[in-house]
């Protein structure tokens, strides 16, 4: 069978691309690949499963649980919880696998399946390929006592909350925070964690009904949060996406604090405490030049990876680094989790505000974001971006003209005949002009 997995699990339109049949067959394949002999005799394999509040998650969760149990795996149904909670609980319960039903920041009609191996780790490409090959294969079904059992796991939320409060033990007394939960998976646990830490909490986007996830709220729609922080006189606001594996923030004036700024704040906090391994932060090539300049000034090295939190995680694990992430708000704190965790990130950010006695806006001012323009050039031979002499010459020319006041990056899409042209410069107009100039060259030289 063709490879099913994308950059972050299997995702598509629920009940069209992501069907109950696919969810069941894929879960059987995962059970066979990750359960090993434990799925069919001796030690019984276990899976922790969870979902975000999408309506389609109800029937898809049933299908995933059915597939796992039919393959002889015991299922712990944790219900609606963030993706990083399922990763944590997979490790906490010493389960062979975990499964999360979510399409993250996508609109409600979509859904997706993410799987975790033992320890709560994302699956390697080779493992995903082996699982894809197993889908639809004939297999010997267990019967009688050999089938798995499906049980509710109500303690999962409490275990996750306790984990977050142990990871960030500092108190938040006196801090007023607005939390935008995107009507998503963190609608209950996100505010609860902040309240237990001592913060005064106002919640928006915290009433999921199965249909309203990410609808005008959350990290991709900051307008409501910015207005709420200003109107309520809060010290800061945080916004999660649908499955709460990422977080963005706003300061007391309602100004956005993006993932690069959050990483800068947390990196310097760890750096000052001697807890930033090798004084190194891991970020992607899309992080703003302002982050690199600020970290260099403060004595922190930045290692850059390809775009995607999985590549950040790979670099962190290979180098043993503490902190990494993306501009979009995926922040990984490897001492406390195996994946990006929006609630953990928000809690650590709030704790830094309180412990330092410094407003979030001032902390974020450690870096100056250079204006960044991104132009998508469609309908081109994207592979030519690495070899066309004129394109390469123009990129070099723009880079030379920008000097240390900006940078240029051309990146081919992984799924479409499309090239992304990104330019940073000291002014937005200058960045736009250079981006348009390069986009025109790419369109002319690489047209299909």
Say what the pLDDT of residue 411 is: 87
Residues 191-209 have pLDDT tens digits of 999 999 999 999 999 999 9
Summary mean pLDDT of the chain: 94
Q: How far is CA 440 from CA 27, 278, 296, 397, in A?
A: 46, 42, 34, 15
When pLDDT is cut at 50, 70 and 90, the band that residue 36 belongs to is low
Q: Give percent of the chain above pLDDT 90.
A: 88
Residues 211-255 have pLDDT tens digits of 999 999 999 999 999 999 999 999 999 999 999 999 999 999 999
When pLDDT is cut at 50, 70 and 90, the band that residue 8 belongs to is confident
3-state secondary structure 287-354: CCHHHHHHHHHHCCEEEEECCCHHHHHHHHHHHCCCEEECCCCCEEECCCCCCCCHHHHHHHHHHHHH
* CATH fold of 372-446: TATA-Binding Protein (3.30.310)
Q: How far apart are CA 63 and CA 51, in angstroms?
A: 12
The mean pLDDT value for 285-308 works out to: 94
Tokens in use for 167?
């990871």
Q: How many helices (H) and strands (E) does the chain have?
A: 14, 19
Asked if residue 41 has pLDDT above 70, the reply is no
When pLDDT is cut at 50, 70 and 90, the band that residue 417 belongs to is confident
Say what the pLDDT of residue 39 is: 45
Asked if residue 91 has pLDDT above 90, the reply is yes
Say what the pLDDT of residue 164 is: 98
Q: How far apart are CA 324 and CA 202, in angstroms?
A: 29
Compute how many other C-beta atoms are within 10 angstroms of the C-beta atom of residue 294.
22
Say what the pLDDT of residue 105 is: 92
Q: How far is CA 29 from CA 42, 101, 137, 336, 371, in A?
A: 20, 16, 8, 30, 46
The mean pLDDT value for 93-109 works out to: 96
Q: Backbone dihedral region of 42: left (phi > 0), alpha (psi from -120 to 50 degrees) or beta? A: left
Residues 325-362 have pLDDT tens digits of 999 999 999 999 999 999 999 999 999 999 999 999 99
Asked if residue 320 has pLDDT above 60, the reply is yes
User: Is 420 exposed, middle or buried (CB count within 10 Å of its CB: 0-12, 13-18, 19+)?
Assistant: buried
Q: CATH number of the domain at 159-364, out of 3.30.70.100, 3.40.120.10, 3.30.870.10, 3.50.50.60?
A: 3.40.120.10
Q: Do 84 and 159 touch, CB atoms closer than 8 A?
A: no
Provide the whole-model pTM. Answer: 0.92
241 annotated as a binding-site residue = yes
DSSP element (H, E) containing 363: helix 360-364
Domains 159-364 and 372-446 share a fold: no
245 annotated as a binding-site residue = yes
Asked if residue 3 has pLDDT above 70, the reply is no
When pLDDT is cut at 50, 70 and 90, the band that residue 12 belongs to is very high
What residues does 47 pair with on adjacent strands? 75, 97
10-153 CATH? 3.40.120.10
Say what the pLDDT of residue 66 is: 98
Tokens in use for 57?
């998650």
102 annotated as a binding-site residue = no
Q: Give percent of the chain above pLDDT 70.
A: 97
Residues 391-414 have pLDDT tens digits of 999 999 999 999 988 999 998 876
Q: How far is CA 249 from CA 109, 237, 389, 420, in A?
A: 26, 5, 42, 26
Q: Are strands 247-251 and 256-257 parallel, antiparallel or unpaired?
A: antiparallel
* Helix pair angle (155-167, 189-196), 10° resolution: 50
Residues 359-394 have pLDDT tens digits of 999 999 999 999 999 999 999 998 888 899 999 999
Q: Can 104 be counted among the known catalytic residues?
A: yes
Say what the pLDDT of residue 384 is: 87
When pLDDT is cut at 50, 70 and 90, the band that residue 43 belongs to is confident
**Given 27, 56, 65, 104, which residue is catalytic?**
104
When pLDDT is cut at 50, 70 and 90, the band that residue 4 belongs to is confident
Asked if residue 40 has pLDDT above 50, the reply is no
Domain boundaries in the chain? 10-153, 159-364, 372-446
Tokens in use for 217?
């709220």
The mean pLDDT value for 54-70 works out to: 98
187 annotated as a binding-site residue = no
Listed in sequence order, the residues at least 6 apart from 130 whose beta carbon sits closer than 8 Å to its beta carbon are 33
Distance of CA 399 to the CA centre of its chain: 31
Asked if residue 44 has pLDDT above 90, the reply is no
């Amino acid at each position: 069978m063709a490879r099913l997995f994308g950059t972050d699990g299997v995702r598509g339109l629920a009940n069209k691309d992501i069907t109950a049949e696919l969810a069941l067959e894929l879960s059987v394949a995962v059970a066979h690949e990750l359960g090993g002999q434990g799925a069919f005799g001796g030690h019984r394999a276990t899976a922790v499963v969870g979902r975000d509040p999408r309506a389609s998650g109800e029937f898809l969760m049933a299908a995933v649980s059915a597939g796992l149990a039919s393959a002889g795996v015991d299922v712990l149904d944790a219900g609606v919880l963030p993706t990083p909670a399922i990763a944590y609980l997979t490790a906490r319960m010493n389960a062979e696998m975990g499964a999360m039903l979510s399409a993250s920041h996508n609109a409600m009609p979509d859904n997706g399946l993410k799987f975790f191996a033992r320890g709560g780790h994302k699956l390697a490409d080779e493992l995903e390929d082996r699982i894809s090959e197993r889908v639809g294969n004939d297999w010997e079904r267990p019967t009688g006592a050999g089938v798995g059992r499906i049980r509710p796991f109500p303690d999962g939320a409490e275990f996750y909350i306790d984990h977050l409060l142990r990871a960030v033990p500092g108190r938040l007394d006196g801090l007023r925070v607005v939390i935008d939960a995107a009507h998503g998976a963190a609608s209950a646990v996100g505010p609860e964690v902040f309240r237990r830490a001592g913060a005064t909490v106002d919640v928006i986007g915290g009433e999921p009904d199965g249909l309203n996830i990410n609808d005008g709220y959350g990290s991709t729609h900051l307008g409501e949060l910015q207005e709420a922080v200003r109107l309520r006189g809060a010290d800061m606001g945080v916004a999660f996406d649908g499955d709460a594996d990422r977080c963005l923030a706003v300061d007391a004036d309602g100004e956005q604090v993006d993932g690069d700024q959050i990483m800068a704040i947390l990196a310097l906090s760890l750096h000052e405490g001697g807890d930033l391994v090798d004084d190194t932060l891991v970020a992607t090539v899309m992080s703003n030049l302002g982050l690199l300049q600020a970290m260099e000034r403060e004595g922190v090295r930045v290692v850059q990876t390809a775009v995607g939190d999985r590549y950040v995680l790979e670099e962190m694990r290979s180098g043993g680094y503490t902190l990494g992430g993306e501009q979009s708000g995926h922040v990984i704190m490897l001492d406390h989790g195996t994946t990006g965790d929006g609630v953990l990130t928000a809690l650590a950010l709030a704790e830094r505000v309180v412990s330092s006695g410094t407003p979030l806006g001032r902390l974020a001012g450690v870096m100056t974001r250079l204006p960044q323009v991104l132009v998508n050039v469609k309908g081109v031979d994207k592979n030519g971006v690495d070899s066309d002499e004129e394109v390469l010459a123009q990129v070099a020319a723009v880079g030379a003209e920008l000097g240390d006041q900006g940078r240029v990056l051309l990146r081919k899409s992984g799924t479409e005949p499309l090239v992304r042209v990104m330019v940073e410069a000291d002014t937005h107009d200058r960045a736009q002009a250079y981006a348009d100039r390069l986009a025109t060259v790419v369109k002319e030289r690489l047209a299909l």
